[in-house]
C-alpha cells in the first residue's frame, strides 16, 4: 500500500491568495466596469531591461548553432555568472567568498524549500511572525517543530532573539511582508546567538537591492563570524524582474558546519553540493546569460532605474497613506508597505472595504501569521499611474 508523507496533513490550508482571487473575481463579475487596481501580489510589473533582453537573444542564437550549442549546465552554475556575482555583490562590498561557495538556482524559493533536506527533521525552527509562509510550510512538510519569534511593532517588527535554544533561524531582510530591515546591531546579535548555540541562520535577502540606507547590511556576511553560521539566499526576481525568468543563488560558505549525531562537524557546502548535483540539473544557459547581463554597466544602470521606479511608487503610497491618516511602516528600504488597519477593523474587513469602496486589492496581514492581524500589506510593484490613482481613492474615502 502506497502511503503519504503524513506531515502534509499538518499543513494549514493556504487560502490567502486563492481567497483574494475569489473575492476579486466575484467583485469584478458584479461590477464589470470597475477599474480594479492591484497592489496585492508581490510580483513585478516592469519589463526586463534591454541588457537582459539582448543577452537572452544572443544566448538563444548560440543555442541555434552546433558550434556554440550548450547541453546540461553545471549543476551549481556557470563560472561566468558566479564570477559576476562574486565581483559585484561581494568583493565590491569587501566580502571575500570563492566561486564554489555560490550555487546558482532557479530562484530563491526552491532552494529555501529544499535546504532543509540536508538538515535533521529534529531541528527546531524559528521564524518571525508575521512571516513569508514558505519558511513555515516547507518545514512542516519535513516534520519540524516551529517556534514563532516575536516581532513587536515598537521594535519596527524586528525578529527578537528567543530565550530558549533554536537550531534553524529564518531571517528575512528587507522583510516580506513588513518592509522592515535588520540593522547591523540586530544582525550581529543573531550571529552571536547562532555561534553560541551552534545554530544556522537562513538569511533571505531577496529584496537587498531595495535597501537605500547605506548603514543597513545587504549581506549577512557583512557581519563578523557570519560565514560560520549563515546561508544566504538571493534572487534576480525582484532585483531585475526575473519572477517569470527564474534565477537566483545561494551562498553556502565552506566554513559553515552542522553536526552529525556524534557531534562531529560536517560541511554544509559539501552536503548542499551533493544535494544539488543529485536533485537539480542546473539553471538554463540562456537564463544564466540573462542574469550575467544584470551586472554589465548598462544592465546595472537599467536595473537601478527600475528599482527607483518601484521605490518611487513606495513613496507615493507612504505619503498617500500618511495624508489619509494611516500609520504605515516599511516602504523605505523595501517595496512593501505594512499599514495598520483602522481601529476595530480586521485585516479581512479592511480588504473588503478597500475592494468594495476603492477598488483596490491588497493583502490582509493575518495571511502572514497571527501577529499580522490588524495590518495590511500593499506592494510598490505596480504602474505608477495606478498607484497615484489608488492613493487618490484612499484619500477620498479615508481623509477626514
CA dihedral 265, 91, 72, 232 (to 10 degrees): 50
For residues 80 and 59, is the Cβ–Cβ distance under 8 A? no
Phi, psi of 183 (to 5 degrees): -85, 175
Least separation in angstroms between CB 136 and ligand PLP: 12
Least separation in angstroms between CB 209 and ligand PLP: 12
For residues 332 and 178, is the Cβ–Cβ distance under 8 A? no
Least separation in angstroms between CB 43 and ligand PLP: 8
Cβ closest to ligand PLP, residue 90 vs residue 203: 203
* 328-330, strands of its sheet edge to edge: 328-330, 336-340, 375-379, 363-364
The verdict on 75 binding ligand PLP (CB under 6 A) reads no
Cβ closest to ligand PLP, residue 186 vs residue 257: 186
| Segment lying near ligand PLP (by CB under 6 A), choices 15-23, 104-112, 153-161, 222-230 | 104-112
Cβ closest to ligand PLP, residue 157 vs residue 398: 157
Q: Which of 112, 73, 97 is nearest to 248 (CA)?
A: 112
Cβ closest to ligand PLP, residue 75 vs residue 204: 204
| Segment lying near ligand PLP (by CB under 6 A), choices 20-28, 53-61, 102-110, 319-327 | 102-110
Least separation in angstroms between CB 235 and ligand PLP: 3
Cβ closest to ligand PLP, residue 183 vs residue 243: 243
Least separation in angstroms between CB 238 and ligand PLP: 7
Cβ closest to ligand PLP, residue 324 vs residue 337: 337
Question: d(Cα 238, Cα 301) in Å, to the nearest integer?
Answer: 15
Cβ closest to ligand PLP, residue 171 vs residue 321: 171
The verdict on 318 binding ligand PLP (CB under 6 A) reads no
Least separation in angstroms between CB 52 and ligand PLP: 15
Question: Which residue among 95, 108, 216, 382 contacts ligand PLP (CB under 6 A)?
Answer: 108
Taking residues 181 to 220 in sequence order and writing x for each that binds ligand PLP by CB under 6 A, - otherwise, the string is -----------------------x-x--------------
| 231-to-20, 176, 182, 243, 255 alpha-carbon distances in Å | 33, 18, 16, 22, 11
Return the residues of window 243-302 that contact ligand PLP according to CB under 6 A.
Answer: 243, 248
Least separation in angstroms between CB 112 and ligand PLP: 6
The verdict on 169 binding ligand PLP (CB under 6 A) reads no
The verdict on 139 binding ligand PLP (CB under 6 A) reads no
> Which conformational region is residue 251 in: left (phi greater than 0), alpha (psi within -120 to 50 degrees), or beta?
beta
Least separation in angstroms between CB 242 and ligand PLP: 7
Instruction: Report helix, strand or coil for 340.
Output: strand
Question: d(Cα 352, Cα 23) in Å, to the nearest integer?
Answer: 8
The verdict on 90 binding ligand PLP (CB under 6 A) reads no
| Segment lying near ligand PLP (by CB under 6 A), choices 27-35, 101-109, 120-128, 293-301 | 101-109
For residues 290 and 59, is the Cβ–Cβ distance under 8 A? yes
The verdict on 40 binding ligand PLP (CB under 6 A) reads no
The verdict on 136 binding ligand PLP (CB under 6 A) reads no
DSSP codes of every residue in 300-321: HHHHHHHHHHHHHHHHHHHHHH
297-323 helix and 50-63 helix, angle to the nearest 10 degrees: 140
Question: Which residue among 49, 237, 276, 341 contacts ligand PLP (CB under 6 A)?
Answer: 237
The verdict on 180 binding ligand PLP (CB under 6 A) reads no
Q: Which helix (H) or strand (E) holds 124?
A: strand 124-128
Question: d(Cα 281, Cα 175) in Å, to the nearest integer?
Answer: 30
Least separation in angstroms between CB 252 and ligand PLP: 17
Q: Side-chain half-sphere of 368: how many Cα atoms within 13 Å?
A: 26
Question: d(Cα 288, Cα 90) in Å, to the nearest integer?
Answer: 18
The verdict on 321 binding ligand PLP (CB under 6 A) reads no
DSSP codes of every residue in 356-381: III-EE-EEGGGG-GGGTTEEEEES-
Question: d(Cα 365, Cα 379) in Å, to the nearest integer?
Answer: 12
Cβ closest to ligand PLP, residue 105 vs residue 359: 105
Chain residues binding ligand PLP by CB under 6 A are 42, 107-109, 132, 172, 176, 204, 206, 235, 237, 243, 248
Amino acid at each position: 500500500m502506497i502511503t503519504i508523507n503524513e506531515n502534509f496533513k499538518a499543513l494549514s490550508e493556504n487560502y490567502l491568495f486563492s481567497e483574494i482571487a475569489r473575492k476579486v473575481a466575484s467583485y469584478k463579475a458584479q461590477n464589470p466596469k470597475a477599474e480594479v487596481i492591484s497592489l496585492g501580489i508581490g510580483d513585478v510589473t516592469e519589463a526586463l531591461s534591454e541588457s537582459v533582453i539582448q543577452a537572452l537573444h544572443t544566448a538563444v542564437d548560440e543555442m541555434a548553432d552546433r558550434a556554440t550549442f550548450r547541453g546540461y549546465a553545471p549543476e551549481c552554475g556557470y563560472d561566468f555568472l558566479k564570477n559576476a556575482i562574486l565581483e559585484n555583490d561581494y568583493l565590491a562590498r569587501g566580502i571575500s567568498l570563492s566561486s564554489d561557495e555560490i550555487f546558482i538556482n532557479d530562484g530563491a524559493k526552491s532552494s529555501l524549500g529544499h535546504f532543509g533536506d540536508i538538515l535533521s527533521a529534529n531541528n527546531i525552527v524559528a521564524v518571525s511572525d508575521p512571516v513569508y509562509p514558505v519558511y513555515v510550510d516547507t518545514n512542516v512538510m519535513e516534520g519540524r517543530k516551529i517556534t514563532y519569534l516575536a516581532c513587536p511593532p515598537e521594535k519596527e517588527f524586528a525578529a527578537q532573539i528567543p530565550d530558549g535554544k533554536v537550531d534553524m533561524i529564518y531571517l528575512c531582510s528587507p522583510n516580506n511582508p513588513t518592509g522592515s530591515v535588520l540593522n547591523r546591531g540586530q544582525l550581529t546579535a543573531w550571529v552571536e546567538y547562532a555561534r553560541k548555540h551552534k545554530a544556522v541562520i537562513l538569511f533571505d535577502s531577496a529584496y537587498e537591492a531595495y535597501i537605500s540606507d547605506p548603514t543597513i547590511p545587504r549581506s549577512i556576511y557583512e557581519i563578523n563570524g557570519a560565514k560560520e553560521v549563515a546561508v544566504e539566499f538571493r534572487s534576480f526576481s525582484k532585483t531585475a524582474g526575473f519572477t517569470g525568468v527564474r534565477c537566483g543563488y545561494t551562498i553556502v560558505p565552506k566554513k559553515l558546519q552542522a553536526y552529525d549525531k556524534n557531534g562531529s562537524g560536517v560541511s554544509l557546502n559539501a552536503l548542499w553540493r551533493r544535494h544539488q548535483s543529485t536533485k537539480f540539473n542546473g539553471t538554463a544557459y540562456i537564463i544564466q546569460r540573462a542574469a550575467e547581463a544584470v551586472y554589465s554597466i548598462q544592465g546595472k544602470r537599467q536595473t537601478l532605474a527600475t528599482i527607483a521606479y518601484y521605490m518611487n511608487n513606495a513613496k507615493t503610497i507612504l505619503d498617500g497613506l500618511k495624508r489619509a491618516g494611516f500609520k504605515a511602516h516599511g516602504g523605505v528600504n523595501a517595496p512593501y508597505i505594512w499599514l495598520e488597519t483602522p481601529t476595530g477593523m480586521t485585516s479581512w474587513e479592511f480588504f473588503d472595504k478597500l475592494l468594495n469602496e476603492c477598488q483596490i486589492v491588497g493583502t490582509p496581514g493575518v495571511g502572514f501569521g497571527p501577529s499580522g492581524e490588524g495590518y495590511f500589506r500593499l506592494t510598490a510593484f505596480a504602474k505608477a499611474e495606478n498607484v497615484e490613482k489608488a492613493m487618490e481613492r484612499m484619500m477620498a474615502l479615508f481623509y477626514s
